[in-house]
Amino acid sequence: MGRPVGERPSGRRPRTGLRAALSTLDGPLRFLLLSSFLIPLGSFMVLPFMSVFLHERLGMGLGAVGVVLAVASLVQFSGGVVGGALADRIGLRRTMVWALVVRTAGFTGLVLALRWPPLAVAALVLTCCGAALYLPANKAYLVRGVDDERRPAFLSAGNAALNAGMAVGPLVAGPFVLSSPGWLFVAVTTLFALVTVGHIRLPTAAEDREGGGPDGRGPQVGPAGPDRRNGRGETTPQDGRGETTPQDGRGRPVPQPGLDRRGRRTRRHRPGRWAGEAALPFAANALAFYLYFHFQHFLAVYAVERASSTFYSLVLLLCFTLVIVVQPLASGLIRRMPYATALTVGFAGLAAGLAVLAVGTRPALLAGGALITLGDIVLFLKNDLEALRRSSRSDAVVFGRQRLAAGLGACASGLVGGQLYGLTAGHTGWFWLLAAAQCLALPPILLALRGRTRPTGTLTPPHTHSRPTPTTTPSPSPSPTPTLTPSPPSLPSPSPSPSPSPTPTLTPSPPSLPSPSPSPSPTTTRRSTERA
């Protein structure tokens, strides 16, 4: 029987680097990367032209078109949090399959809308619902069981495939979207149906079969290889610290306080949804998308006025190409970069690019688009990696939250940016300068949040709620017991002794004091257990 999806052969030291990481991709993950290209290819053969299609082909007013597109964008991004929760509930593969079924139904509705135009709005929203459900599960399936060193390479490869499809789709569909939309919609619907069948044939991820590892993440594959095996050759669940769960004489996991038999945290011991440092990547992602969508929403109007629609397409092609080429190559550097440095570099790139756009010439449009894209390459990837690192929830839930942040940022950009663009009519260069100023003024708030949410001590592990272990030396000796050796509180002892006494590690009596050490009270023992 083959190894679970995402699991890598053990017994050899994992290689580093983009090519070495991607060389370990098996068949299902290669198909998933191909799907990451085909799905945006089909989507961007239709979605970028929906404003033109709804207005010119179906006769919808521009005001109504704007409302429809705003709702569709908000659903597509913010619905990701629902997609992440659904993936946690029914599994990654099932979520992807149902999402593709919904999107296929949406594109089928666009075909029928040529005969009954009111159906077009519902069909468009349906396709966006499918996109919201699909992407968190897709990313989580791609990085499931992959160690932290290889995750950037896998995520950047998926992002490169996504941007390649987004770049090619409009070029393919441009000549046909108004002249032959029926055949175009049928072709896209057929493409999505085929991709759906391929996802049905994907193997079920190990976390879907066994219920996942701690917090639904599944067994982690790190530099030391897959999960350690018990005496019967079965994978041993891991506890919340990435260590093997203790077992009884029959090789079965011993229930630990705060963990179930599969090593997952019980609901009582899971951190709050927006607790502490987990909120920072969410806020940073929302801010990054808010600033980026000033460029995404309003560059078309700005560039067409000063150049042409063809030149605007060239700017977009340059941006997509940079993401495809640069992000996979820079993924390792971005992973190693401190989070504060990544935020500084990313927002500085955004500020520089938006300021250059204010010049308004063709070279400025190209240079500004390139700088903005380079800044976003750092911000988007680092925010995802940092959200995964800081959160104890499943990967799908984490990616869903990041999509929710993107939706909120994009929606705020449309509301605020639209008002600013209207106020600067006739002097639109000021619009880009104001956006650049926001890139410099708002990120320090995030860095202040980072300093305020940094933990001041060790987080309480799940086992701190257990009953205090009584000491094994009841004799009231006036001197410290010489058989107990203090150990550093940050390194728990791996000794298998069933009744360790951590009391001396926290309150060791100075050897120069002749006074007898009092017997530890329950309060002292409980505090010592927490620090251990």
Tens digits of per-residue pLDDT, 134-183? 988 888 888 776 777 777 777 778 888 888 888 888 778 777 766 778 88
Query: What pLDDT is recorded for position 249?
Result: 60
First and final C-alpha spacing in the chain: 41
| pLDDT for the residue 53 | 76
Task: Tell me: pLDDT of 465 over 70.
Answer: no
User: Using an 8 Å Cβ cutoff, are 156 and 331 in contact?
Assistant: yes
* Minimum mean pLDDT range among 8-17, 303-312, 327-336, 426-435: 8-17
CATH topology of domain 16-205: Growth Hormone; Chain: A; (1.20.1250)
Q: Where are the domains of the chain?
A: 16-205, 277-452
- Distance (Å) of CA 370 to CA 123, 314, 318, 354, 405: 34, 12, 7, 10, 24
The closest alpha carbon to 321, from 279, 374, 242, belongs to 374
Structure confidence at residue 525 (pLDDT): 46
Count the Cβ atoms, other than its own, within 10 Å of residue 426.
5
Whether residue 372 is predicted with pLDDT greater than 60 in this model: the reply is yes
Euclidean distance between CA atoms 361 and 365, whole angstroms: 6
414-440: average pLDDT: 84
Q: Are 65 and 55 in contact (CB under 8 A)?
A: yes
pLDDT at 107 over 90: yes
Cβ neighbours of 110 (radius 10 Å): 25
- Average pLDDT taken over every residue of the chain: 72
Give the mean model confidence (pLDDT) for residues 261-270: 48
Q: What is the dihedral of CA 349, 350, 355, 359, to 10 degrees?
A: 90
Task: Give the mean model confidence (pLDDT) for residues 401-409.
Answer: 85
User: Which pLDDT value is given to residue 19?
Assistant: 61
Which run of H or of E encompasses 397?
helix 395-423
Residue 413 pLDDT > 50, yes or no?
yes
Res. 452 pLDDT band, cuts 50 70 90 = low
Residue found by looking up tokens 């799907």 in the block? 35
pLDDT digits (tens, 9 = 90+) for 511-527: 444 444 444 444 444 44
> If pLDDT is split at 50, 70 and 90, which confidence band does 260 have?
low
Domains 16-205 and 277-452 share a fold: yes
Task: Kindly report, residue by residue over 496-515, the tens digit of the pLDDT.
Answer: 444 444 444 444 444 444 44
pLDDT at 454: 52
Q: Given a cut of 70, is residue 63 above it in pLDDT?
A: no
Percent of the chain with pLDDT over 90: 22
Rg (CA), the chain: 27
Report pLDDT for 414: 75
Compute the 3-state secondary structure of the chain and give helix, strand, coil in percent, each to the nearest 5. 65, 0, 35
pLDDT, one tens digit per residue, over 185-221 is 999 999 999 999 999 988 876 545 444 443 444 444 3
pLDDT (average), residues 93-121: 91
Cβ atoms of 145 and 114 within 8 Å: the answer is no
Of the candidates 380, 379, 427, 414, the one whose C-alpha atom is nearest the C-alpha of residue 294 is 414
Q: Bigger pLDDT: 413 or 25?
A: 413
Collect contacts of 304-308 with beta carbons under 8 A, ≥24 apart. 306/360, 306/361, 306/362, 306/365, 307/362, 307/365
The pLDDT, as a whole number, for residue 178 is: 67
Model confidence at 450, in pLDDT bands (50, 70, 90)? low
DSSP string, 14-56: PP-SHHHHHTT--HHHHHHHHHHHHHHHHHTTTGGGHHHIIII
Q: Helices 181-200 and 27-43, interaxial angle, to 10°?
A: 160
pLDDT confidence of residue 287: 93
Question: What CATH class does 277-452 carry?
Answer: mainly alpha
> Which contacts of 444-451 are long-range, i.e. CB under 8 A and separated by 24 or more positions?
446/280, 446/283, 446/284, 446/287, 446/343, 447/340, 447/343, 449/279, 449/280, 449/283, 450/277, 450/280, 450/339, 450/340
Confidence of residue 56 (pLDDT cuts 50, 70, 90): confident
- Residue 66 has a pLDDT of 66
CA distance linking residue 268 with residue 331, whole number of Å = 36
Average pLDDT of 424-444? 88
Lowest-pLDDT choice from 95-99, 150-154, 205-209, 385-389 = 205-209
* Residue keyed to tokens 């040529």: 114
Which residues pair with residue 133 across a beta bridge? none
Of residues 512 and 336, more confidence is placed in: 336
pLDDT value for 434: 93
The confidence band for 85, taking pLDDT boundaries of 50, 70 and 90, is confident
Higher pLDDT, 484 or 172: 172
Percent of the chain with pLDDT over 70: 64
